[in-house]
Amino acid sequence: MNAIISAAELASESKGQYPPVLLDVRWQLTLAKTAGEPSFDGRAAYAAGHIPGAVYVDLDTALAGPAGTGGRHPLPDLEVFAEAMRAAGVRQDRPVVVYDGGQSWAAARAWWLLRWAGHPSVRVLDGGLAAWDGELSTETPSVEPGDFVPRPGAVLLLDADGAAALAREGLLLDARAGERYRGEVEPIDRVGGHIPGAVSAPTTENVGADGRFLPAADLAARFRTLGSEEAPRVGVYCGSGVSGAHEVLALAVAGIEAELYVGSWSEWSSDESRPVATGPNP
């Protein structure tokens, strides 16, 4: 099954006998607290208008555990995640479609987690809510609780040691902005730079101006130039395992299986014993 779905396809499937479970995962990485501005409120955005039938899922509480030594968005407690998915109506025998405001980072995080936990059919709405040209609803739907039981391990997961090894023995992609990879700026974490051996591959280059993914052939060509064809394995990290999931999704669209280092730079850089590389080269 494809990893992404178009708005037209979603509209058609939603009218069918077995419509997909629809999750609204709007979220934004924001430095608003530092700037003295209010943080983005995904729940308020959902209440103001969402795709009919969608259930809101909060990334910070349902799709990640508390920030700490494991990074800003470590894996969630499995039972917390399971309860949130069942409350949203997620079932083992029903397809799931996830979307966010258009960037698809948060939607990709939900996609990756559900796949890692063993759900067989999860797709991301290509282009997010911005691509939806149908009506919006302000009503919170009444959904029948789902029966989803996570069975972790369906896709591979990297820890810090695994990421370090993959940077030496395969291809480890850094999905953050190039200036953060090079160590020129670091607005969030303790220190700037990248995991030694990692290759810069900003996830923003996987989509067009409208937020939709580039064609599969174009994505495949991009990753080939970065070394995917020669690598025995491919892995991805970012700042905290959110935009990295988006890059794993882009790789899936291109037909390339990839592993995610969920702790990412927020975990790696917090450990002063871990080496840090700077500059444009791996």
CA dist list (Å): 7 to 98, 124, 129, 193:
12, 10, 9, 38
Q: Which residues in 69-92 are b (16+ Cβ under 10 Å) and which e?
A: ebbbbbbbeeeebbebbbebbbbe
**Encoded tokens for 235:** 């892995």
End-to-end CA distance of the chain: 34
Q: Where are the alpha helices (DSSP H) in 88-176?
A: 105-116, 160-169
Strand pairing class (171-174; 157-158): unpaired
Is 238 noted as a catalytic residue in this protein? yes
CB atoms under 10 Å from CB of 204, counted, come to 13
**Structural contact between residues 121 and 3, judged by C-beta atoms closer than 8 angstroms:** no
Question: What does the block give as tokens for 32?
Answer: 């608003």
User: Among residues 208, 202, 194, which one has the least CA distance to residue 176?
Assistant: 202
Residue 48 exposed, middle or buried by CB count within 10 Å (0-12, 13-18, 19+): exposed
Tell me which residue has tokens 């997620």. Answer: 90
238, 248, 256, 260: the catalytic one is 238
Residues labelled catalytic: 238
